[in-house]
Amino acid sequence: MAQKPIAMGQLKQVLQLQNDGVSIREIAHHTGISRNSIGKYLSGMDGSQSDITGKVLT
């Protein structure tokens, strides 16, 4: 099944939770997005981009 895009607000929430040190499993439970989808979204982010707080992700 094709992956359905998530809203920008949900993506920001996922990134903030990850930045706060929350596990992928917990993020999935909190947002209702599957663990695999969250893993794909997070792996698609590279270190040159900044997160929603403006910090550079490494």
Domains of the chain: 1-58 (1.10.10)
Q: Which pLDDT tens digit goes with each residue over 23-52?
A: 999 999 999 999 999 998 888 875 545 455
Q: What's the confidence (pLDDT) of residue 47? A: 54
Q: What's the confidence (pLDDT) of residue 41? A: 87
What is the mean pLDDT of the segment spanning 13-25? 95
Rounded (5°) CA angle 22-6-3: 100
**pTM greater than the 0.85 cutoff:** no
Q: What's the confidence (pLDDT) of residue 45? A: 72
Residue 10 has pLDDT above 70, yes or no: yes
Spell out the residues 6+ positions from residue 15 whose beta carbon is closer than 8 angstroms to its own: 42, 45, 51, 52
Give CA separation, 3 vs 7, 22, 24, 34, in Å: 13, 23, 17, 10
